[in-house]
Amino acid sequence: MKLKIALALVLLVSGCRASEPQTPEETGSMPYGKWGFAFFTPYALPAIVTHAVVIDSGKVVSTFRTLDSTQSDPDTVQFWSDTTPNGGVIFNKVRHPPVSMLFCWDSIIDKKTNETWIIFNPSLRETMLTPTGTDRYGETAWYKTMLFGLAPEGKVKIWLQDSAGGENVPVEPKRMVTLSDDRLDICKGVTQHPNGYVYYGDTPQFIKGKTYPYGSW
C-alpha cells in the first residue's frame, strides 16, 4: 500500500503540473533516442505481460497496451543468466530514463495474474546517460535496454543491457512489489486468459518430476 501511495505521488508530481512539460515533443530526447525494455521468462515457465505504464524522468507518462512479446530464454534454466538477449524491441520504447513503472502480467506457470509496481533509484538516470564505450561498429555504446525477467512465485529481476554487448548489469530498484489474487488493484481483470490457464509447448514435459518453483529465482 505504501508503494502505491508513493507511485501515486510520483504520478501527481511528474505528470499533472500544467507548468511542467507533458509530451515527448516538449521534453526532448536521450543522446541515443529512446531506450527500450523487454520481458522474458526462464525456459518453459511462460508468462505474458499485458499492460504497462512508465513514468519517466522527463515527466512523461507512457502507457503500453500493445507490447513486444514476452520471450522464453532457452539458456535460463534453474538460475538467471546475465547474458540473456533482448529479443528485439519494437513497441516498448520510452524517451527518458524511468522513475517508476507498473505492469500487469499473466503468470501462466502460476496460473494467476500479477501486478508489479517499481520505483527506480535516481542514480539510474545517470547510468543510462553515461556512454559505456564503443560497439563493434565504432558507435558510442549505452545502457539503453532494460530487461525484466519474470519467474514463478511472481519473482521479477531487472538488468540493463549494454549496446556494446557483454554481460547484463543487474538493477536494484528503490522499491518493488508484486501483487496477486485479492490484492490486485490496477490489474484486476486484465488478462489474456479469462477462461483459465493451460500449460502448453515444452512446459508439461519440462516441469514433470521437478519441484516448484523449478529453480532459484
pLDDT value of residue 41: 98
Sign of CA dihedral 72, 111, 153, 123: positive
For residue 215, CA distances in Å to 1, 7, 151, 206, 208 come to 29, 31, 9, 12, 13
pLDDT value of residue 149: 98
pLDDT digits (tens, 9 = 90+) for 140-175: 999 999 999 999 999 999 999 999 999 999 999 999
Q: Spell out the alpha helix ranges (H) of 32-161.
A: 123-128
pLDDT grade, residue 17 (50/70/90)?
very low
pLDDT value of residue 88: 86
Spatial separation of the C-alpha atoms in residues 132 and 126, rounded to whole Å: 12
Judged against a pLDDT cut of 60, whether residue 93 lies above it is answered with yes
pLDDT value of residue 108: 98
Query: In angstroms, how far is CA 215 from the centroid of its own chain?
Result: 20
Judged against a pLDDT cut of 50, whether residue 15 lies above it is answered with no
Q: Where are the domains of the chain?
A: 2-206
pLDDT value of residue 13: 43
What's the pTM value of the predicted model, to 2 decimals? Answer: 0.89
